[in-house]
């Protein structure tokens, strides 16, 4: 168990090893580990950010959806109102038109009746004249009495 | 037991003496100028292999997904870094943490040489190479452990002076841990005696610090040396028993395996303790009292 020169040789070897580790081994490992740690931390932070952004977006979409629903129901209500109004209007128009058509038809019928009456009148007068002619053939001169007969026909 | 002993009388003490002899060659005059080639070559070789492997991984270290090798190295790195972080609260990355890594891995590798079976190595490796004496475990050489402890000791003083300045360091030698003498107006006879005796505090402080500075490298180096040396001796004793016949061989093998397994704990634990003490001493050097 003698202390000898080995002591110094080993101490020098130790010093060289420490220098080597300080210079070449430790820094790259430290850089690699610290960079990775930072990357992981950044990734986690980004994930958290994304999560909160998603929450905000979900809330926003819900609000938008509700708005859209409300608007849709509003529009539907308006449309129903407008529809019933249109139906009412149509009913009114139809009634007016119907009345107009009815009045027209009535007027035509009246006209027709008048015309028929006119025809009938002239026919009746002709018949009456024919009848009277037949009855009075002998005593009444058609020519002498035609003026009177025409007056009669006009009175009918 | 190997055949190289055949020509000499094979006694238990000659066996143990043979295995505990260093491959020591004089490199100058006097008993100090001797180099234990086995300790030196084994430790340098292990240092190159271990730190070289780490360097090889560190050189191509990626910040992305690490390979298995890199993950393993990073595991060791983080383990050492975590220990240093808990003890030392300065910029550990510039020196102390890498030093701790070096100490831990190097001492671990040197301790682990204890697992090499002594007789097998002598018979099949060292004797064919013409090495009559060759000890595989550099840390069972007091020179190695003392070299490490002494280097740490010098670093300790260096950091002490660097942090506190030469004046601050010398001041601390005399003023810590008990505090220094104070001039005060004595109010009684006892106070007057106290005033007269107070310079003795400098003596007490200095003596205390000297004892601390001497005991630190001694306990640091002798703890590791003692553990590894004792481990080696026990392997030799088991080897002795194994040479006594069939029963001895069987029980020697069982005991040898058992001691090897237990020794895994000692090897790792002593390397860890040596690293922790290194870090603690260097951290203490940074603290001023």
DSSP B8-59: S---HHHHHHHHT---EEE-SSSSSSEEEHHHHHHHHHHHHHHHHHHHHHHH
What Å distances lie between residue A41 and A44, A47, A49, A102, CA to CA? 5, 10, 12, 89
Contacts of A97 (CB under 8 A, 6+ apart): none
Domain assignment present for residue A49? The answer is yes
User: Residue B37 and residue B136: Cα distance in Å, rounded?
Assistant: 11
Q: Do B106 and A17 touch (CB under 8 A)?
A: yes
Peptide bond between residue B279 and the one before it cis (omega within 30 degrees of 0): no
pLDDT at B119: 82
Pairing of strands B24-26, B34-36: antiparallel
Domain assignment present for residue A20? The answer is no
Residues in chain A, overall count: 156
Domain assignment present for residue A35? The answer is yes
The token pair that represents B7 in the structure block: 């020509």
- Helix B37-59 × helix B68-87 angle, to 10°: 110
In this prediction, residue B21 has a pLDDT band, given cuts at 50, 70 and 90, of confident
Chain B residues lying within 8 Å of A2, measured CB to CB: 31, 34
Domain assignment present for residue A146? The answer is yes
**Per-residue b/e over B207-239, b at no fewer than 16 CB within 10 Å?**
eebeeeeeebbeebbebbbebbbebbebbbbbb
Average pLDDT, chain A: 89
- With an 8 Å Cβ cutoff, the interface of chain A facing chain B consists of 1-11, 13-15, 17-18, 20-22, 24-33, 35-36, 39
Report whether pLDDT(B200) > 70: yes
In this prediction, residue A149 has a pLDDT band, given cuts at 50, 70 and 90, of confident
- Name the minimum distance, in Å, from the CA of A54 to any CA of chain B: 28
Domain boundaries, chain B: 3-286
Domain assignment present for residue A9? The answer is no
What is the per-residue pLDDT across B95-111, written as a single tens digit (0 to 9) for each?
Answer: 999 999 999 999 999 99
What is the per-residue pLDDT across A20-54, written as a single tens digit (0 to 9) for each?
Answer: 999 999 999 999 999 999 999 999 999 999 999 99
Chain B residues lying within 8 Å of A13, measured CB to CB: 40, 43-44, 47, 147
Domain assignment present for residue A111? The answer is yes
User: Residue B166 and residue B161: Cα distance in Å, rounded?
Assistant: 5
Domain assignment present for residue A19? The answer is no
- Give me the residues paired with residue B26 across strands: B34
Domain assignment present for residue A21? The answer is no
Q: DSSP letters along B73-84, please? A: HHHHHHHHHHHH
How many Cβ atoms from other residues are within 10 Å of residue B158's Cβ? 12
Chain A residues lying within 8 Å of B220, measured CB to CB: none
Search chain A and give the residue with CA nearest B53: A25
* Closest to B242 (Cα-Cα) out of B228, B265, B258: B258
Determine which of B174-183, B268-277, B280-289 has the lowest per-residue pLDDT on average. B174-183
Which of B1-5, B24-28, B231-235 has the largest mean confidence?
A: B231-235
Say what the ipTM of the complex is: 0.86
Q: Where does residue B179 fall: left (phi above 0), alpha (psi -120 to 50 degrees), or beta otherwise?
A: left
Is B243 or A15 the better-scoring residue by pLDDT?
A15
- Give me the residues paired with residue B34 across strands: B26
Residues B14 and B2: beta-carbon distance below 8 Å: no
What Å distances lie between residue B271 and A56, A64, A128, CA to CA? 55, 67, 157
Return the percentage of chain A with pLDDT > 70, whole number: 95
Say which DSSP state B26 is in.
E
Q: Rounded to the nearest 5°, which phi and psi values hold at B89?
A: -115, 45
Report whether pLDDT(A82) > 50: yes
- Statement: the pTM of the whole predicted model exceeds 0.80: no
A23: three-class secondary structure by DSSP: helix
- Substitution target in B21, B39, B61, B110 with the highest count of A β-carbons within 10 Å is B61
What is the per-residue pLDDT across A117-145, written as a single tens digit (0 to 9) for each?
Answer: 888 888 888 888 788 778 776 666 667 77
User: Residue A122 and residue A120: Cα distance in Å, rounded?
Assistant: 5
């Amino acid at each position: 168990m003698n202390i000898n020169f080995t002591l110094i040789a080993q101490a020098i070897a130790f010093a060289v090893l420490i220098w080597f580790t300080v210079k070449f081994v430790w820094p790259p490992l430290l850089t690699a580990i610290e960079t990775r740690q930072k990357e992981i931390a950044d990734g986690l932070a980004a994930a958290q950010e994304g999560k909160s952004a998603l929450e905000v977006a979900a809330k926003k979409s819900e609000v938008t959806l509700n708005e859209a629903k409300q608007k849709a129901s509003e529009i539907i209500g308006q449309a129903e109102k407008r529809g019933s109004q249109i139906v009412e209007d149509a009913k009114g128009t139809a009634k007016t038109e119907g009345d107009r058509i009815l009045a027209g038809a009535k007027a035509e019928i009246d006209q027709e009746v008048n015309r028929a009456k006119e025809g009938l009148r002239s026919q009746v007068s002709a018949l009456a004249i024919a009848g009277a002619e037949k009855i009075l053939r002998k005593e009444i001169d058609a020519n002498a009495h035609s003026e009177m007969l025409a007056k009669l026909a006009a009175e009918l | 037991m190997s055949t190289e002993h055949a020509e000499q009388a094979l006694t238990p003490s000659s066996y143990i003496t043979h295995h505990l002899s260093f491959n020591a060659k004089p490199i100058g005059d006097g008993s100090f100028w001797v180099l234990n080639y086995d300790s030196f070559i084994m430790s340098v070789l292990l240092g190159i292999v271990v730190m070289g492997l780490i360097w090889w991984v560190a050189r191509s270290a990626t910040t992305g997904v690490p390979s298995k090798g890199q993950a393993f190295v990073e595991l060791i790195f983080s383990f050492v870094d975590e220990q240093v972080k808990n003890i030392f609260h300065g910029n550990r990355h510039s020196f102390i943490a890498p030093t701790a890594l070096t100490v831990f891995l190097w001492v671990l590798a040197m301790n682990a040489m204890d697992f090499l079976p002594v007789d097998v190595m002598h018979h099949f490796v060292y004797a064919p190479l013409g090495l009559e004496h060759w000890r595989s475990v550099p840390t069972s050489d007091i020179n190695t452990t003392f070299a490490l402890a002494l280097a740490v000791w010098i670093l300790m003083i260096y950091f002490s002076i660097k942090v506190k300045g030469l004046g601050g360091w010398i001041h601390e030698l005399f003023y810590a841990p008990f505090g220094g003498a104070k001039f005060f107006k004595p109010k009684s006879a006892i106070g007057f005696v106290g005033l007269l005796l107070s310079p003795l505090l400098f003596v007490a402080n200095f003596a205390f610090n000297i004892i601390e500075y001497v005991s630190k490298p001694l306990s640091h180096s002798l703890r590791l040396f003692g553990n590894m040396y004792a481990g080696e001796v026990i392997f030799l004793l088991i080897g002795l028993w194994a040479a006594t016949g069939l029963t001895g061989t069987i029980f020697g093998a069982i005991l040898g395996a058992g001691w090897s397994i237990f020794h895994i704990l000692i090897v790792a634990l002593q390397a860890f303790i040596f690293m922790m003490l290194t870090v603690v001493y260097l951290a203490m050097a940074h603290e001023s009292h």
